[in-house]
A and B are shown apart, each in its own frame.
Chain A
Amino acid sequence: MKQKFNIIESTCVPLPLENVDTDQIIPARYLKETTREEKFFGAHLFQDWRFKADGQPNPAFVLNDPRYSGCILVAGRNFGNGSSREHAAWALAGYGFKVVISSFFADIHRQNELNNFVLPVTVDPAFLQELLDSITADPGTRVRVDVGNQTVTNLATGRTATFPLDAYKKYCLMNGLDDIDYLLAHKKEIEAYEIQHR
């Protein structure tokens, strides 16, 4: 959902698994819906890890652990690999996540997050591990993400890191604009390109 991003401060949900693929973020059977309603997909975020086969919550999965909450997901390396399904980004947004912190994101999913106002924050493996350790030691650990300055701070240790974000997407996030607004404003260039390449 279009929204303006600047400073986000929250507790975190830890998911210290590597290679979390988009089939796990949202299984294919929930992709049949034609709705744009993020809440529908959010209800099925991590469905097969979060719920048992009988539909009851799986108490061993972190989203069902009452100690952890917040709008920041902290995940292991290579988050979002696999299918291009944007439903994965909708599910994260619909559940209420605004930020995902990982040491590595798969390309298409990273772009899908950005296009849905979920901020992918890439940090080095040491920062990630320290943050996971902080959260394990104290689930009340808070993290502050400053989009304008492109910094992320583990408030338990005070350690701050910078994260990559291109200037264009930063402007979009901070002003609540999406790519189509931009592209439609450049229709003349498109027509000129087509004439030149006819």
Chain B
Amino acid sequence: MNTLFDKIWDAHVVHDTGAGPVQLYIDRLYCHEVTSPQAFEGLRLRGIGCLRPDKIFCMPDHNTPTHDQDKPIEDPVSRKQVETLAANARQFGLEHFGMMDPRNGVIHVVGPEQGLSLPGMTIVCGDSHTSTHGAVGAVSFGIGTSEVEMVLASQCILQQKPKSMRIRIEGKLGKGVTAKDIALYLMQQLTTSGATGYFVEYAGSTVRALSMEGRLTLCNLSIEMGARGGFIAPDEVTFAYLKGKPYAPKGEAWDQAVAQWKTLCSDEDAVFDREEVYDAAAIPPMITYGTNPGLGMAIDGTIPADAPAKALAYMDFRAGESLLGKPVDYVFLGACTNGRVEDFRAFASVVKGRKKAANITAWLVPGSWTVYRQIQAEGLDRVLADAGFELRQPGCSACLAMNDDKIPAGKYSVSTSNRNFEGRQGPGSRTLLASPLTAAAAAVTGVVTDPRTLL
């Protein structure tokens, strides 16, 4: 009668403080350059090293420019932060996928595609979108820098057990509706704090039918409902995705692992603290109009009358209006949310045989070099080039304005990333979150467009 979350969590409890948190063993820690330097400095100040260096992987992604990665980073502060990660990895004996390393990319794209994130694991990183790795059937969540330091020092973290929630989605998705739309719909239904305090298990026929890429997108956005994390019990889709990945078990070890992974599911009679059920057929292609990811609507809908005035003032939108036909300045395809090969396939399917609109600046940023190579191998780069789009080099890019890719003040961006907070993509930038299909529709028409009209 246990949930899968209980099973994985309980199997990782080293010690119970008896006063709230438990000491939880961590199987995998990822470090990026932004939230780790102070943690490594903490180790130096305490005069200690990493307890289990082989369980820790480092890579820069937030600051990396999406062009000329073979040259030094121009911004000296960004350069220093990226170099600091490399130096810390060297000093503490950790694996480091540096810029231009063929394995480098956005951590939440790289972890699963390298087979570093596996079913049944506990996974943490100083990044709220660590929930992404839950798609392989792991308990994976974002932590702060003090907690990164805890894991570096002890391979453990002190953590209170969250409540459990199951979100079941049943049925077949409509035309032009993607995993991103499911997530934007859930946020709109639940709000950005609706799942705070919970760890979410996604289930149901719709979720089972999603590809691994789609599952990664869905789990990625769990934090935007406030959830600590979200995951999907592993199945044949998971095993097929992981098989042969560089760090996944091989040979006999693989067979043994799969046999064990097949036991990872919630019991039939498992009791969740909360259950929600949604009908896939009710989910439209979504777009956000406000300044948090919960402020979304159907692409062909109108901004609700009760939309927060502060958000509308920032976006320069009015209650009651439709966004269809609104001019767009930038389109961003990428980020840990939608930077995988399936997202580029979707984008290419819309722009194929069409041309980029003249008013659009488009940034197409693969989530990793592996994705970049896949795009080339499938010939998608030629489809994109014929339509007037070029590929950039991998990184977090325009998701959070820490590198050169910033949206200027007042400009509208249709973005496949995860947050539309004030200034998220650059001071004064205005972000409309949407799927790769909707981003592509805007890129070729120059305005907010329902992707179903182009499919």
A interface residue numbers (CB < 8 A to B): 17, 19, 21, 23-24, 27-29, 31-36, 48, 53, 77-78, 81-87, 89, 104, 106-108, 111-112, 115-116, 166-169, 171, 178-180, 182-184, 186-187, 189-190, 193-194, 197
Contact = CB atoms under 8 A, between A and B. Distances in A.
5 contacts: A32-B78, A32-B402, A186-B14, A190-B154, A190-B155
Given A106-B196, A179-B150, A29 B402 contact: yes
B158 A168 contact: yes
Chain B interface mostly helix, strand, loop or mixed?
loop
A32 B193 contact: no
A169 B422 contact: no
Counting chain B CB atoms within 10 Å of each CB, the highest count among A19, A29, A116, A166 belongs to A19
A181 to B, nearest CB: 9
B400 interface: yes
B19 A167 contact: yes
B25 A24 contact: no
B111 to A, nearest CB: 16
A78 B158 contact: no
A107 B21 CA distance: 14
Interface residues of B, number: 65
B144 A19 contact: no
Contacts of B424: 23, 28
Q: Which 7 A-B pairs have the closest CB atoms?
A: A166-B20, A167-B19, A86-B144, A168-B19, A34-B37, A115-B146, A112-B144
B226 A180 contact: no
B92 to A, nearest CB: 15
A176 to B, nearest CB: 14
Interface of B: 11, 14-15, 17, 19-21, 23, 25, 34-35, 37-38, 41-42, 46, 48, 51, 62-63, 75, 77-78, 80-81, 84, 126-128, 130, 142-147, 149-150, 153-156, 158, 160, 162, 192-193, 196-197, 223, 226, 228, 292, 310, 400-402, 409, 419, 421-424, 427-428
Contacts of A182: 17, 158
A86 B147 CA distance: 10
Given A32-B81, A83-B127, A186-B154, 7 more contacts: A23-B421, A31-B34, A84-B130, A108-B228, A112-B144, A166-B20, A171-B19
